[in-house]
Amino acid sequence: MDAKVLIDSFADFAKSKNVDRPTMIRILEDVFRAMIRKKFETDENFDVTINADKGDLEIFRIREIVDDNSEDIWDFDKISLSEAQKIEPDFEIGEEVYEKIELEEFGRRAVQMARQTLIQRIKDLEKDLLFNKYEEQVGEIVTAEVYQILGREILLIDGEGNELILPKGEQIPKDRFRKGDAVKAIVHRVDMINGNPKIILSRTSPVFLERLFENEVPEVYDGLITIVKIVREPGERAKVAVESYDDRIDPVGACVGMKGSRIHAVVRELQNENIDVINYTDNLELYVSRALSPAKVSSITVNEENKRISVFLKPDQVSLAIGKGGHNIKLASRLVGYEIDVFRELNEYEEEDVDLQEFSDEIDAWIIEELKKTGLDTAKSVLALGKEDLLRRTELEEETIDEVFRILKQEFEQ
């Protein structure tokens, strides 16, 4: 393989990978200089000139002519006068000899290795470029096509044929994709594993929801409305705290849109995830009240030392505050950064009621805790709810509930 064939084949391969000309020349020179170092131990006194467009390669060894008896005669950049005059009879001491080295002098095996090295260098460069490209896009939305569905992940390809990964844990539980579907997600992270870039996408990240709002709400994209915090239970519920420094802008109204037009587009993308958009405020009690929406809070007590908040609600608001599967209260706690405890507010007719904690000698603590999770903290509130509702809302067995009812009824019968 002569120099022209080697350079032409490499140039064609490099162009197919969209490698620019300066990078291509640099890689060629690096590989040829590595060949020189292997054969001559150094490349310091060699000049390498490459014209990739014409496929030309010129390698010159440059040495200074010294007297045959000089002590420097064995230096890598020196040549004896007698040896120099074999190349050109007119040479004299002190002149420089430019000796052309043909590619064939390196041997067939070295040239074949150079060809493989060039191809590998381009492949490595391609991996680095892919890594850098997606590392710059971390936190941004991309759209890719599903081409393989595996048990623990979905493989997608972007517009340039690069492989992207959407793990099971980064999919919304209600997501159902088929081969060929276009999928929106954010670039979650980019890992380099054994020299290969691994691009991980996510649809469950709060950042994905934030980017969707930016796409649908111009005021968010322009910075007129700031998203302070987002918390999510992917596919179930999300809470988004927003604020605006412009009094003329209603941040909640702008995010929801006319008749919900803006937020509906986001909800559809998230498989009908319920999204509560609330006004952020520095007033903690008001913030908590808004965070527990759609429940209406009667009163709030804050314990700064333990980072806990006690919230009192009317009986019909307790289940709303807790929400389906406890999602509403969990998200509200994460949004405000405090643990929220929900209590049922007693009215004047319920003064004779007894706190469940009073029955701790007869009812196991874990059962009382399970009842409190559903907002039931008094004997009458449990009895008023009924057996069927308790079975549905708690993880208690029917026999356990029957025993609890027996103990509580006995208290009032007395």
245-287 pLDDT, tens digit per residue, is 888 999 999 999 888 889 999 999 999 999 999 999 999 999 9
* Distance separating alpha carbons of residues 22 and 105, to the nearest angstrom: 27
User: Domain 3-132 belongs to what architecture?
Assistant: 2-Layer Sandwich (3.30)
CA nearest neighbour of 200 among 187, 216, 185, 215: 187
94-121 residue pLDDT tens: 888 898 888 888 888 887 888 888 888 8
Give 3-state DSSP helix, strand, coil % of the chain, rounded to 5. Answer: 45, 25, 30
Q: So what's the pLDDT on residue 316?
A: 80
Would the pTM count as exceeding 0.85? no
pLDDT of residue 410: 81
Give the whole-angstrom CA distance, residue 58 versus residue 48. 6
Phi, psi of 335 (to 5 degrees): -70, -45
Highest mean pLDDT among 64-68, 86-90, 212-216: 212-216
CA distance 321 to 329: 6
What pLDDT, on a 0 to 100 scale, did the predictor assign at position 178?
92
pLDDT band at 239 (very low <50, low <70, confident <90, very high): very high
Is pLDDT above 50 for 296?
Answer: yes
Q: Answer yes or no: is pLDDT of 347 > 70.
A: no
Q: Are 164 and 138 in contact (CB under 8 A)?
A: no
Q: Strands, DSSP E only, in 122-260?
A: 141-149, 153-157, 163-167, 182-193, 196-202, 225-233, 237-244
For domain 142-204, give the fold: OB fold (Dihydrolipoamide Acetyltransferase, E2P) (2.40.50)
Query: Among 3-12, 310-319, 402-411, whose mean pLDDT is lowest?
Result: 3-12
348 band by pLDDT with thresholds 50, 70 and 90: very low
CB atoms inside a 10 Å sphere around CB 94: 10
Closest CA to 181 of 215, 212, 151, 156: 156
pLDDT of res. 349: 44
CA atoms within 13 A on the CB side of 225: 27
Dihedral sign, Cα of residue 111, residue 112, residue 117, residue 119: positive
Higher pLDDT, 324 or 178: 178
Mean pLDDT of all residues in 21-41: 86
